[in-house]
Structure 1
Amino acid sequence: MDTVTLQVTDDGSHTLFNAALNETYHSHQGALAESRYVFIDAGLAENLKTFTAPAILEVGFGTGLNALLTLGYIQALNQQRQAANQPVLQVHYLSIEPFPLARPLLERLNYKQLLAPCYAPLFDALHDAPWEQATEIIPGFWLTKCQNTLQQQPLPAQQFSLVYFDAFAPHKQPEVWQRENFAKCYQALQPQGMLVSYCANGQFKRDLKAVGFTVKAYPGALGKREMTRAWR
């Protein structure tokens, strides 16, 4: 993808700029900080209060940053559990990405340099994992990457406990932010399952409510007024 170039965000971490969409993959104010706040702190950590065997659906694999931070978080939890003679968490992670990034471009990202050393092998394992195939990245963590759109991806009913909705902004990819797609996510979630997104667009929240979600206001990342958390 020669229209995609590297940029440095305010927290020093890299994002990518897609010239065809005139859009970056993450916030200019901090790629790592945004991903950690929205998807880990406000999403995964909250979801684990209800689900002990989380199944995560990600809309937009992108640079793999959300998956990487999720994997690191689960690995740390499992190390604590093993030290306490408890079984490891069993996690299934399905990520949908219609336009996978080339490995040479991914290798230029500085996540391995900025994060703790334990993340470097996790980054490589995530990106080395084959597409369209469930791969156990670490004990108990299964990743499936699908080169597909949300519209076309089959999703079994009540399979997931958490949805990371991380597509490009609604005015950049309106086809992804259709009410039918939110209904599809709703049907794929287990009762009490949760959807999180950096986006707090009013129409987005109205459409989530229209298909059955309970939407609650939550402070946004990096000075943004709001992000979205919604439950089935």
Structure 2
Amino acid sequence: MNQIKTELIVSEDGSHTLYVPELDEHYHSVHGAIRESEHVYIKAGLLHINRPTVNILEIGFGTGLNALLTRVHAHDKHIRYQTVEKYPINNHLAEKINYGTTLGQPEFFKALHASDWNQWQPLTPNFELLKWEGDFRDLTPQAPIDLVYFDAFGPDKHPDLWCNEVFNKINQLMTPGATLVTYCAKGSVRRMLNTCDFETERLPGPPHKREMLRATKK
């Protein structure tokens, strides 16, 4: 299992995030990890989808926060959740992260990290999980996809994931009218999404960030 060195820190809303010294990058906003993820991926993504079953693809499983928040906010939706991670964190580190206790889902959060890789796992009657370990460019997640959480490290850190090749591959997995959301609002990323058959819109960003992007497959 590939891993990178991380440091556990507390963000402004009291929830943890991880810092990667090698990249000088955080997994989530230091201004509030839970606050940022709820704004970008839940409010602009999950709650934007009006379907009884939602097939989700997440690029960057990371700490498991987006998956946990999806479970919390899914209500009566049935979730089929695929997520890709090249550098999984180990269970020992996951046990130190406070999302499960903060959100009242300690057992579910533990199950997210304890579940096997590369095979479907039914975590609840309404939440199925498939974690892919590896580089997204080398994997073939299962279609159809209704919603994409694009939560990779920023384009200045991992430019190989913010490219036409990746966005075209994602587009081909998505259903017509499906949605992609990301915290990144760079003009270059927006132009790439437009080139790859998406319609894009800038939305207000989470605290301390002016904008984010939501894209819809044409």
How far the C-alpha of 1:44 sits from its partner, in A, is 0.2
In the aligned structure 2, how far is the partner of 1:62 from the partner of 1:68? 12
Which of 110, 120, 125 is equivalent to 1:124? 110
The separation in 2 between residues aligned to 1:96 and 1:154, in whole angstroms, is: 10
Which string of whole-angstrom CA distances, capped at 9 and with x for unpartnered residues, describes residues 194-229 of structure 1?
Answer: 000000011000000001100011100113111000
Cα separation, 2, equivalents of 1:165 and 1:190: 16
* C-alpha separation in 2, matches of 1:183 and 1:52: 26
Distance in 2, matches of 1:147 and 1:106, equals: 16
Within 1, Cα distance between the matches of 2:27 and 2:52?
Answer: 30
The code of the aligned residue for 2:52 comes to: T
Query: Which structure would you say has the larger Rg?
Result: 1
Residue correspondence of structure 1 range 165-176 to structure 2 within 5 A: 165-176=150-161
Question: What SS is found at the alignment partner of 2:18?
Answer: strand
What amino acid sits opposite 2:112 in the alignment?
Answer: L
Query: What SS does the aligned partner of 1:176 have?
Result: coil
Unaligned 5+ segments in structure 1 are 79-88
Partners of 1:133 and 1:163 lie apart in 2 by 19
Deviations 1:135-174 (A, max 9, x none): 00110211000101111111355x1000000000000011
| Aligned partner of residue 136 in structure 2, secondary structure | coil
Aligned to 1:105: 93
Please report the RMSD computed on the Cα atoms of aligned residues, expressed in angstroms.
1.2
Between the two proteins, what is the percent identity of the paired residues? 41
Q: Are the equivalent residues in 2 in contact too, given 1:95–1:145 (CA < 8 A)? A: yes
Q: 2:132 aligns with which of 136, 146, 151?
A: 146
CA drift at 1:2: 6.4
Conserved 8 A contact 1:72-1:122 = no
Q: Secondary structure at the match of 2:192?
A: helix
Unaligned runs of 5+ in 2: none
Decide whether aligned partners of structure 1 residues 2 and 45 sit closer, same or farther in structure 2, where only a CA change above 3 A counts.
Answer: closer
Task: Give the 4+ runs in structure 1 shifted more than 3 A.
Answer: none
The TM-score with structure 2 as length reference comes to: 0.95
1:62 matches 2:62? yes
Residue correspondences, number: 215
Which structure is higher in strand share? 2
Q: Give me the whole-angstrom Cα distance separating, in 2, the residues matched to 1:113 and 1:39.
A: 20
